Amino acid sequence: MLADGPSARHARDAARITELVETAAPGDWARPSPVAEWTALDVVKHLVEWPRDFLKGAGIALAALDVEADPVAAWKRHAAEIQAVVDDPAGRVLSNPNTGDKPVDEAIDQFYTPDVWMHSWDLAKALGREPDLERERCLAALEAMAPIEGLMRESGQFGPAVPVADDASPQDRLAAFTGRDPQWRPEG
């Protein structure tokens, strides 16, 4: 598991998405993703839009960004703004009825940064690239999620687990656990 803190983890995971968005062609945004009914653009919109609302619980008001007009610029601005918050949390506490009160950098680290990491798999797949979520990190995520599988499924944010071979890689097992087909490829 990564032991370097919220700022470094966010920077590393956001950089994965930045690399993907910077190399996407204009026509790539309409490509389907492994998330049912989402395109590559929808993955980026999700990663930009929900945390901006989430951070209101810490008194942080970030302006809405037009992801559809320019996904690359929107992502890069968003990633920089979130990075600024985790780099200097300034003692702010995020209050949320679902998560309780947490220092804002810890809340981002616990709820948002892992979402960026996991959705980098979706975006890479949508763009026809092979993601690498790192073996040890996938194993740690699987170990952490196994005890709360019921809660995860009940949340509606994860589909049913996809069957995989016993000898599947940790990354494939993680994708399958979260309801994604590890063998998914974009059409065409």
Domains of the chain, first to last: 6-131 (1.20.120), 134-181 (no CATH)
pLDDT at 3 over 70: no
Which pTM was predicted?
A: 0.93
Q: What's the pLDDT at 188?
A: 57
3-class DSSP state of 61: coil
Are residues 186 and 128 in contact, defined by beta-carbon separation less than 8 angstroms?
yes
What is the predicted pLDDT for the residue at 18?
Answer: 98
